[in-house]
Structure 1
Amino acid sequence: MKGKISTKIFLPLMAITITVIISKLVPDKSAAYRTVFWIPLFGVISLLYVLAIVLSLKFETLNQWLREKAPLLTAAILFLSLWEIVTSKLSLLPLPYFPPPGQVVDVIITDRKMLLISTFYSLRMLVAGYLLGAFSGLITGTMIGWNKRLNYWIGPLQKIIGPIPATAWIPIAMTIFPTSFSASVFILGLSVWFPVTVMTSSGIANVQKSYFEVAQTLGAGKPYLIFRVALPAALPNIFIGLFMGLGTSFVTLIVAEMLGVKAGLGWYINWAQGWAEYKKVYASLGVMSLLFSTIITLLFKVRDRILIWQRGLIKW
């Protein structure tokens, strides 16, 4: 009910209190563990969370979200506290391979300019390669699934090229394409092309024939049957291919950036590792996790919006 707050909502604040007490009162094993922004970060988080609790008195949706996410947020905060204990407090994990979370937070804030530039370059390459692979996969998948003659010629090529990991083509791509960026975009596109092609062709080939018969009875031509009947009916399969391609594109992106390009999150990891700056490696991994999870969430939103007619029929 509006205006009531569950005691479960206050669990994250209790976890933050425990984390701050441990960080302030338990001495560090080494002076190298010192951090600047660790405690202020939890102060900002606490203020924002208290503000969210106050607003939840008026907005029931926010209240429900806080009740649902409170245990998860508490576990995440306690995990960070455990991470600090086994690194800075007890030194159970060796430096510099396992820095404490406070140093990772310091890197994200102090080196934010380089991280933002690297994120921009990675996002630009990811979008270009993903769109190239998804568009190509939709075209070839539609051709294979719709036309048996095209399936006869293109199908074997797909079965030969598709199973080969896209990263295996990096030496050839670096030779053929004039720049490392264009070669990396091609590799990304290739990693997306195969799953999108397979799922699109499978979806179109499995569309019920009665759909086409009804449309033809009403005078529909071939373009209408393809774009207004086959592709919409195959959308659930197509989105599965898009999600599969998105996952493979993440892996391919990081590998391509480590080997060829001069900017990006993968390049940043490789560069930081070369200088034994593992706190920067963890910072890059955190930014990468946030970026990739945001992209996946956006694709889920697009799928739910387009396939709203399936709500109640299929549980995602």
Structure 2
Amino acid sequence: MYRPKSTVEQWRIFQAVVDCGGYAQAAEKLNKSQSSLNHAVAKLQQSLGLSLLEVRGRKAFLTPEGEVFLRRSRKLTHDMENLEQLADVLASGWEPILRIVVEASLPRRPLYQALAEFAPRSRGCRIHLVEAQPAGCRAVVAKQAADLLFACRTFPGVTCLPLAATVYVPVCAPDHPLTRFPAISAHELEHELELVLADGSEQEEGWDRAELRWIINHLHDALSLLRRGIGYAWLPQEVVSPLVDSGQLQQLPMVDLALRKRFTHLILPRATPPGPAASLLLTLTRQHYGIREETTSAS
């Protein structure tokens, strides 16, 4: 079994001597006796079998070996400080991990903005960001398997916060036959292949679907197929607008200008109140969705 030849305190003293330029200056800064610092560095060098410092007059200078060990030791002490700070953070109730689940068809820009603002304040909290289909969202709620869930529907017995309405528009590739029509009716779409974001376990609620449809589990796959001229799809306007502007996709002109809407809800699946990290991310998320007043509801 490996046994360390040195201690973290010895490396801290070694760094202090280097940073302060000598033993006397380091002793004053650390509020220790000069002899104790001399002893600590001497013991460190003896255990390593290397000379790290050379004393010339009242100043200490690094040897070539000392320069190498100084860089490595700074990482060691920095990691130790982070480890001890993490213990303090966890002892205060700060969550080590936040699991976030987002329904596949929903746009995420405000969430990404909230996460970007959360990152420098995360205090070591790790984020698990997962995409799910409606059936998966129901399972998350049933099992209380996430801290935050973004879904199109609400769920009874859990806190549901309304965030924003998402507009869905029909899009296809620029060379798709549907783009030849100056205006398209819902009847004409019934005879075309539709790419539906779902997991195949249930019929989408509220929207009549075409007879010809492919079930696509991920938004990335749907967009890739659309750009290759396969079918059409109703997708979030926020997601497809850059692709329409760049000419990769084309929005279909509907006769009645009927656009489809879904509401994004932020669900708190757990029975216990959110911890401090989840509460911070919740606040940031609501801010980036433009929610100012508390509109919490539990069905």
Q: TM-score, normalised to structure 2's length? A: 0.20
Q: Which has the higher contact order (CA 8 A, sep 6+)?
A: 2
TM value normalised by structure 1 = 0.19
Name the one with the larger helix percent: 1
- Structure (1 or 2) with the greater strand fraction: 2
Q: Of the two, which has the highest radius of gyration?
A: 2
